[in-house]
Copies of this chain bind each other. A is one copy, B any other.
Amino acid sequence: MPDRKVVAKELAEIFKIVANPDRIRIIEELRAGEKDVKTLVEVLELPGPRVSQHLSLMRAHRIVEERRDGRHHHYSLTQPDMANWIIEGLDFVEGRLNGVSKVSITKARELWSAQKSNQTIK
């Protein structure tokens, strides 16, 4: 199979994994550092099993990694820059909108950009 075809397929897979609102929120939540499942469940207000499923999928694709401490499972981003890359995608969201929800975007960009990762700064 030609290189570009292979690579397009791999890229599509990454995009597919990120292409979910819950998972995006989880990734942005982990931007500030590792968190355990219960914390994620509370902060994001999502059902436990759902968060667990998402984490399991992302773990399988090495997007997050797990550190166990007693009965707490702490998750963190294996590639913290991914959180920034996702935020960059906001540029293209703005292009699609008819101006209305732009306020939300500006706010969210600030909120997410504010909490800088303690792992990524170089």
Contacts and interface: CB of A to CB of B under 8 A. Distances in A.
A6 to B, nearest CB: 5
Contacts of A4: 25, 28, 108, 111-112
A3 B107 contact: yes
A89 B14 contact: yes
Interface in A41-87: 61-63, 78-79, 81-82, 85-86
Nearest to A84: B88
Q: Is the interface of A mostly helix, strand, loop or mixed?
A: helix
Contacts of A79: 91-92, 95
Contacts of A82: 92
Interface residues of A, number: 49
Contacts of A61: 96
A9 interface: yes
A12 B7 contact: no
Nearest to A96: B62
Given A61-B96, A79-B91, A95-B78, A21 B3 contact: no
